Structure 1
Amino acid sequence: MPFRFLDDIATADVAFEAWGKTREELFAAGADALLSTMVHDPEAVERREETVVTVEDTALDLLLFSFLQELVFLKDARRRLLHPEKVRIAEEGGRFRLESVLRGEKIDRQRHPLVVDVKAATLHRLRVACESGIWRAVVVLDV
């Protein structure tokens, strides 16, 4: 599990640190942390349906923010819980573009006991950096 929850950052929200050897692994770990925040047992979410998400931004931290916001939107608007299967990040012309293949299913409260309802990712203390060859992020979720 390439993430951990941080108890000392936000008292009314949920914070986590995620990491990976590549930017793509980091973003997948962030998506896993988001799913683990929302659902008691993320592995109970079956990978039945495929969803493709594309987001763009000018900075990696904002790209992560946009990606997580899209996952929260899909949970709220389409009632989908999603695992990241593939993440690809490209940089061109001063912009970053993320394309992600996600797999999951519609929320079933019998099989997916929800822990908290994540309303949004926040910009509070948002950070993405490469430290000693490991990509790391800190994210605070509004719950």
Structure 2
Amino acid sequence: MEVGEKVTSSVNDDESPSIPEVKYEYLDHTADIQLHTWGDNLKESFEQVAIAMFNYMTTDYDTVKMSEVHKIKAEGSDMKSLLYNYLDEFLYLFSAEPYIIPRVIRITEFDIEHFKIKAIGYGEPFDREKHPPGTEVKAITYSNMQIHDNRPSNDVFVILDI
């Protein structure tokens, strides 16, 4: 699988992961939205920031079923470019047909020395009748992007262009 290549497959109900605890918040930002996530480790904070982005994009995230698996890969030249490319891969997953909205995201490989991520999104195709749209995310930005590793809560801050 090449960087950015997506692999899709079906999920049986007994294979669906549990819904993680919410560890994110939305912070007001002029004409944009800032995501603030935290976790027990940086990997969890990265998972949370992708979930926060998708939750912001739909008004009823609880209706998203985990019937499909979507795998992504991302690389970067440093931690910020890795975070940017990781979120951009998931945003592309939502923007390309069929529009996919993951409910749970699990990072399966997190290499912070070589700046590589492999992740799985559990979700389903986006359906406007079932998943009322929230705010469209146009792009991920580097503006005020922050990654705090080895702090008690491993915070990540990302501003989305909406």
Task: Report if aligned partners of 1:38, 1:115 keep a CA contact under 8 Å in 2.
Answer: yes
Task: Report if aligned partners of 2:33, 2:161 keep a CA contact under 8 Å in 1.
Answer: yes
CA distance in 2: counterparts of 1:117 and 1:110, whole angstroms = 16
CA 1:91–1:139 in structure 2 vs 1: closer, same or farther (change >3 Å)?
Answer: closer
What letter is aligned with 2:61? Answer: P
Q: Provide, for residues 45-74 of structure 1, a one-character-per-residue CA deviation record: whole Å limited to 9, x for no partner.
A: 111111111101122222111111111111
Matches within 5 A, 1:1-16: 1-7=22-28, 10-16=29-35
Q: In structure 1, which of residues 83, 99, 110 is the aligned counterpart of residue 103 of structure 2?
A: 83
Residue 83 (structure 1) shift: 2.9
Unaligned runs of at least 5 residues, structure 2: 1-21
Residue 131 (structure 1) shift: 5.2
TM-score using structure 2 length:
0.80
Matches within 5 A, 1:20-59: 20-59=39-78
Task: Report if aligned partners of 2:41, 2:150 keep a CA contact under 8 Å in 1.
Answer: no
CA distance in 1: counterparts of 2:24 and 2:160, whole angstroms = 14
- Residue of structure 2 equivalent to 1:120: 139
CA distance in 2: counterparts of 1:114 and 1:25, whole angstroms = 26
CA distance in 1: counterparts of 2:157 and 2:106, whole angstroms = 21
Residue 102 (structure 1) shift: 0.9
- Residue of structure 1 equivalent to 2:13: none
Q: How large is the Cα RMSD of the aligned pairs?
A: 1.3
Identity of aligned residues (%): 27
Which runs of 4 or more aligned residues in structure 1 lie more than 3 Å from their structure 2 counterparts after TM superposition?
none
- Residue of structure 2 equivalent to 1:107: 126
CA distance in 2: counterparts of 1:83 and 1:99, whole angstroms = 17
TM-score using structure 1 length:
0.91
Say which SS state the counterpart of residue 38 (structure 2) adopts: strand
CA distance in 1: counterparts of 2:85 and 2:94, whole angstroms = 14
- Residue of structure 2 equivalent to 1:134: 153
